[in-house]
Every structure is written in C-alpha cells, then in structure tokens.
Amino acid sequence: MLTDLQLTTVVKLRKPHPCGGYEWTVTRLGADIGLECNTCHHRVLLTRRELARRIKTVIFAPALPNNTEIRESNG
C-alpha cells in the first residue's frame, strides 16, 4: 500500500488528530513520509512502518496524465 503513495495523496488515519481531523495529505516521500493535516495544516513526519500501522484508507490518489510515461534508468 505504501508503494502506491504519491505527493498530494490524501489518506485517512485510524485515530483523529487533536484538532479532530482524520484526513492527511502526503507532502514528502522518502525514508520518512511527510503528512499535513487537512483540518489545521499541522505537519508531521512518520516512518514508513509507523504510517503503515496508522493508515486506514487512501481517499484520493492522483493519476498520472495519459501522455506521461514512466521511464527506467539503466545506469
């Protein structure tokens, strides 16, 4: 599931943020995943393992445009 994450993906976590929001937007991808609360705009960093435990559903995942190709680098 975490391999499907892209920037601007909206996810719903299992427990609410203290502001009451459940929905978060992915703002950073790497060893840690950056999230921004959609209610209060607070930012947090979670490890991939921690996010995998906390995530409930993926609400919105942006699609690649039709004319975009994914190219592999050979070197």
How does pLDDT run across 29-71, given as a tens digit for each residue? 999 999 999 999 999 999 999 999 999 998 887 776 655 555 5
Has residue 72 been placed in a domain?
Answer: no
Q: 10 Å Cβ neighbour count for 33?
A: 23
Mark out the alpha helices in 1-75 (DSSP H runs). Answer: 48-54
* Predicted structure pTM score: 0.77
Domain count, the chain: 1
Has residue 52 been placed in a domain?
Answer: yes
Residue 47 sits in a domain of what CATH number? Answer: 2.30.30
Residue range of the domain that includes 38: 2-60
Instruction: Give the burial string for 38-47 (b: 16+ CB within 10 Å, else e).
Output: beeeeeeebe
